[in-house]
A and B are shown apart, each in its own frame.
Chain A
Amino acid sequence: MTDLCELTRLADSGRLPPPAAVAARVRARGIWLYVETWLLASRTWVVSLLIVAVLEPIVYLLALGWGLGSLVDRQVGVADGVPYLVFVGPALIVATGVMAAHQESTYPVMAGFKWRRLFLAAQATPLMPRQIALGHLASVMCRYLAQATLFWLVLLAFGATRSAWSWLVVPITGLTAWAFGACVTAYAAGLEDEGYEFALLQRFVVMPMFLFAGTFFPLSELPAYLHWVGWISPIWHGTELARVASYGAPMTGAALALHLSVLLGYAAVGTIVTTRRFTRRLTR
């Protein structure tokens, strides 16, 4: 049994800085402390995730670049004047990033508030709700970037890039995933119950964005009245940028700036609303 002396040390070892100093440190570095613990906790699933993150691009590129590509490439010049593999590769990086963002921003967010209550646990510490919100967004960003980097390496191995700037697809994917994920996180943080909203989001927002927003064929293949799907879709803006980086698809400076601003706009709005909703939900 613990004697009184040990117990006294347990309650006050004298080895800790005073509470005000502890709190000041957390106020300054809270987001990174949160990211660090998220990375630590990710040990339980990171291996399976990394395996998927390597196999998935291989499967996509084999099936779509090679398999589907052999159909498409019978006609020359239809896909931006490059082989279909080169055309579809950067789009697939962006699309898988957005899919990951959808996963990380729906059920895990609901779980943090409701099922596993891990956000509530963090809130009992000096961490501020704002730091928990931003910490969560920054944590999942680590996943997007790791996944995109692996995909890009596979793309290189397939010889599916045409530019020395192709590595830029990694930050572009990160930005696109953040833009989409932050908006979805904001939405999820406002939900009291998961009444199938996530399934509907997947079917009516994510899938159409993926299918109709220039991933598999240029937006111009669609009738003009469907082009708006691409315009509002972060996937399309991310994909267009990724194509410039990966094989130097032609683009004017103005278009470049426009795509970038749309993504930054989504990211900013999503991040602000997420922070607000986390704060409101954790302090009401």
Chain B
Amino acid sequence: MTAPMQPSAPRRVRVGARPVLERGLMVSRRSWLVVLSGFFEPLFYLLAMGYGLGGLVGEVTGAQGRPISYAAYIAPALLATSAMNGAVFDSTWNVFFKLRFARLYEAMLQTALGPVDVALGEILMALMRGLLYAMGFMAVAASLGLVTSWWALGMIPVALLIAFGFAALGMAATSYAKSFQQMDIVGFAVLPMFLFSSTLYPVEVFPEVVQWVVKALPLWHGIELMRQLAVGAVSWASAGHTAYFLAMSALGIWLTARRLRALFLR
């Protein structure tokens, strides 16, 4: 004999971010060309800016204080930037589309998944791509002789850390956006960071006040960390840059979960 079925109290089953991640993987199996294409963007930048613009610029001072080629100067910065761009694209345009048109999240949140699972799943998906790109870029940069230290291997996990921070924050921002045109604003937050955070020229060309503003932005920390690793000039400052990204990631996750809950679980 078994006991009669008791009506159980409504209970949220924790299934974690895995189903969201699995869905992402299923989709990217179909879109391998897009996944592959992400690898070309930093490469195009490196070739165009490093060699095309490099002809106008000549040599610049590297992280160890020695002159290096313009391509070697921008390569670590481009890796950091591409980690940021990939993460922001995945967590903004991609997520915006799903939020507003495909209504994917509404469907997801009606299952046992919680908003945090959804957010983490999407972000993890972005990271797996980021890992592939970082490895590809490093292979190219190394073969062009643009990195000079074994520390440079550390640039790959750092790319993931940068991506995680931006993805978390980007997704939080997206959940507030309503139209295509508003999404441009998210893009607009990314652009100045790319342009000012010492990607293409040293921040020292600006007056001190501007320098402090730039140094408050996340991308600058990512780029500094990358440049230090590329030539092996690692110090306590490197640890500080890392801590910055850990804090940013936590903030992004918290905001996203809160907002998704407000949007769909009213």
Contacts and interface: CB of A to CB of B under 8 A. Distances in A.
- Direct contact between A and B judged by beta carbons closer than 8 A: yes
Interface of A: 44-45, 48-49, 52, 55-56, 59-60, 62-64, 66-68, 70-72, 74-75, 78-79, 84, 103, 107-108, 111, 115, 195-196, 199-200, 203-204, 207-208, 211-212, 216-217, 221-222
A221 B53 contact: yes
A84 B205 CA distance: 15
Contacts of B52: 211-212, 216-217, 221-222
B205 A70 contact: yes
Contacts of B196: 59, 62-63, 67
Interface in B1-39: 31, 33-34, 37-38
A207 B41 CA distance: 8
A225 B27 CA distance: 37
Contacts of A212: 44, 48, 52
Given A71-B200, A71-B205, A222-B51, 16 more contacts: A45-B182, A52-B185, A59-B196, A63-B200, A64-B200, A67-B206, A70-B205, A72-B53, A111-B101, A199-B37, A200-B34, A204-B40, A216-B48, A216-B52, A216-B53, A217-B55
Contact of B188 (A52, A71, A217): A52
Of A48, A60, A67, A115, the most chain B CB neighbours within 10 A belong to A67
B15 to A, nearest CB: 28
A45 B181 CA distance: 6
Interface string B165-192: 0000000000000011110110010011
Interface of A, secondary structure class, is helix
Interface in B110-125: none
Contacts, number: 107
Indicate the size class of the contact surface on chain B: 35 or more
Contacts of B192: 59, 63
Interface stretch (B56-64, B150-158, B215-223, B237-245): B56-64
B201 A199 contact: no
A207 B44 contact: yes
A134 to B, nearest CB: 21
B49 A71 contact: no
B195 interface: yes
Interface string B47-78: 01101110111101000000000000000000
Contact of A71 (B44, B57, B101, B191): B57
B41 A44 contact: no
Given A45-B181, A212-B48, A67 B57 contact: no
B37 A203 contact: yes
